[in-house]
Amino acid sequence: MGFKPSDKPKPKHRKGLWSPEEDQRLRNYILRHGHGCWSSVPINAGLQRNGKSCRLRWINYLRPGLKRGIFSKEEEETILTLHQMLGNKWSQIAQHLPGRTDNEIKNYWHSYLKKKVNKVEEMEPNTTTRYTSSSSDTMDSSPSPKKARIGVPNSDSPEYMEKSSTYIDHQSILQTSDFPKEANRGSFLPKLLFSEWLSLDHVNGGGFASSDEGLISQNSNLQYTPMHGFLSSDGTYSGGFHEGTSATEMFSSQFKFEDQISGNGIVDFISGGDVNVCNDFNMSNSVMY
DNA sequence: AAAAGCAGCAACCGCTTCGAA
DNA sequence: TTTCGAAGCGGTTGCTGCTTT
């Protein structure tokens, strides 16, 4: 009996939705050690998942700085514009929507924007597709009537607009003659970096704790929700951005922070000099996962 | 009140790309 | 140059909750 090496049973990986405990384990592990090689993450973190699944969970839901909730009008227009230019390059589109993931954008497209575009095309078959939202249909453009009923601010409301932290200069994109090339390089628009979130949190007295419990407890009015990030005590989402921070302020702070980064890595800005904590997060010109 | 239908979203799957050996 | 493993990406699936009948 016995197994030949090739017959060795592969470890049984859990599938399906992530439990809060799994999230906690993964988050704790990555915040402490960085992800390094994803295939080793579930082993080291004590998870019965495969590395791919861990990576996806981190990127789409656990990664700090994620913004959740309904898309603002600006975001919607950004997606429409970029989709028109880039096609289904969700990751590239996501690079221009700080805090949004490619998966989220893709879902939003398939569940809502695609239909909207089709509707416009049906209504105006002779015109070339106009992706940008017309002002007349923004009020009925809520992607999820269900959610609108449960108190999520309307995307046109001042409250919502204020919370929206996405900014994109459409003109600058359109006027960039070689836009697709530039977009592929992702070099001309601000990006949301994990490091930005860390730095802001750090600067604002967050004192990036080495444990997740510490991280949360530092923000006493934040409540972690396993699926949707952080809820502030008033129930609004606070996915790593600071409420009331304008897009300009946010990006200028990001640029300042980026200025402080030399070379290709983040060095020694958390945990009092424990370089190993963060040197697995590589800094590049694209969104950091 | 129950069942059916629908929509949204989280997660999986498989292909491609990249980099190291 | 080739091979192989890891990461990235986009398409798709399936579950869940809400709405409608």
Q: Which pLDDT tens digit goes with each residue over A185-194?
A: 333 333 344 4
Distance between the alpha carbon (CA) of A2 and the C1' atom of C1, Å: 38
The long-range contacts involving A113-116, CB below 8 angstroms and separated by at least 24 positions, are A113/A76, A113/A79, A113/A80, A113/A83, A116/A141
Model pLDDT, residue A127: 54
Strand nucleotide closest to residue A13 (CA to C1')? B12
Model pLDDT, residue A81: 87
| CA quadruple A99, A102, A106, A107: dihedral sign | negative
For A69-82, the pLDDT digits (tens) are 888 888 888 888 88
Name the average pLDDT for chain A: 57
Residue A112 reports pLDDT greater than 70: yes
Residue A16 reports pLDDT greater than 70: yes
Give the other-Cβ count within 10 Å of A94's Cβ. Answer: 23
Residue A114 reports pLDDT greater than 70: yes
For A121-156, the pLDDT digits (tens) are 767 766 554 555 444 343 333 443 333 333 333 333
List bases in chain B with any atom under 7 Å of a protein Cβ: 7-14
Distance between the alpha carbon (CA) of A1 and the C1' atom of C9, Å: 42
Average pLDDT for A178-184: 36
Distance between the alpha carbon (CA) of A39 and the C1' atom of C4, Å: 15
Is pLDDT larger for residue A37 or for residue A152?
A37
Distances A43 to A39, A153, A257, A276 between C-alpha atoms, Å: 8, 41, 33, 18
Helix (H, G, I), strand (E, B) or coil at A282: strand
Q: What percent of chain A has pLDDT over 90?
A: 1
Is pLDDT larger for residue A85 or for residue A189?
A85
For residues A94 and A187, the answer to whether their CB atoms sit within 8 Å is: no
Model pLDDT, residue A74: 85
Model pLDDT, residue A125: 63
Whether nucleic acid strand B comes within 7 Å of the CB of A59, the answer is no
Distance between the alpha carbon (CA) of A233 and the C1' atom of B14, Å: 42
Q: Considering only CA atoms, name the residue closest to the C1' of nucleotide B6.
A: A111
> Is pTM, for the whole model, over 0.75?
no
Model pLDDT, residue A172: 40
